[in-house]
């Protein structure tokens, strides 16, 4: 896995198994997640695959999932 500034190369990332939420429509509109062999997690916007994925450690991903499960990222009602 070659990298630039700590990010895996785009070629490497395209070969990963990307997962999309079942809430995503057939036309996209969702984040996709891939698990890297070194334990990190890559996130990408499937509406704009030209942007490089955002890569976080497994710990950061676990913290995010915990907060999401607790509703900590639910947008405020206006």
Please give the mean pLDDT across all residues of the chain.
83
Of the two residues 10 and 52, the one the predictor is more confident about is 52
Distances in whole angstroms, Cα of residue 30 to Cα of each of 9, 18, 61: 22, 12, 17
Least confident range from 4-8, 18-22, 33-37, 49-53: namely 4-8
Domain ranges within the chain, ordered by starting residue: 3-69
pLDDT at res. 47: 86
Could you report the per-residue pLDDT of 53-74, keeping only the tens digit for each?
A: 999 999 999 999 999 999 999 9
- Tell me how far CA of residue 53 lies from CA of 12, 37, 38, in angstroms: 11, 15, 16
Per-position DSSP letters for 65-77, written without gaps between them: HHHHHTTTTPPPP
């Amino acid at each position: 896995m070659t990298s630039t500034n700590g990010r895996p190369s785009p070629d490497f990332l395209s070969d990963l198994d990307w997962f999309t939420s079942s809430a995503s429509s057939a036309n996209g509109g969702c984040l996709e997640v891939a698990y890297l062999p070194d334990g990190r997690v890559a996130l990408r916007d499937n509406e704009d695959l030209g942007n490089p994925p955002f890569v976080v450690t497994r710990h950061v991903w676990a913290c995010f999932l915990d907060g999401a499960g607790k509703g900590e990222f639910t947008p405020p009602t206006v």
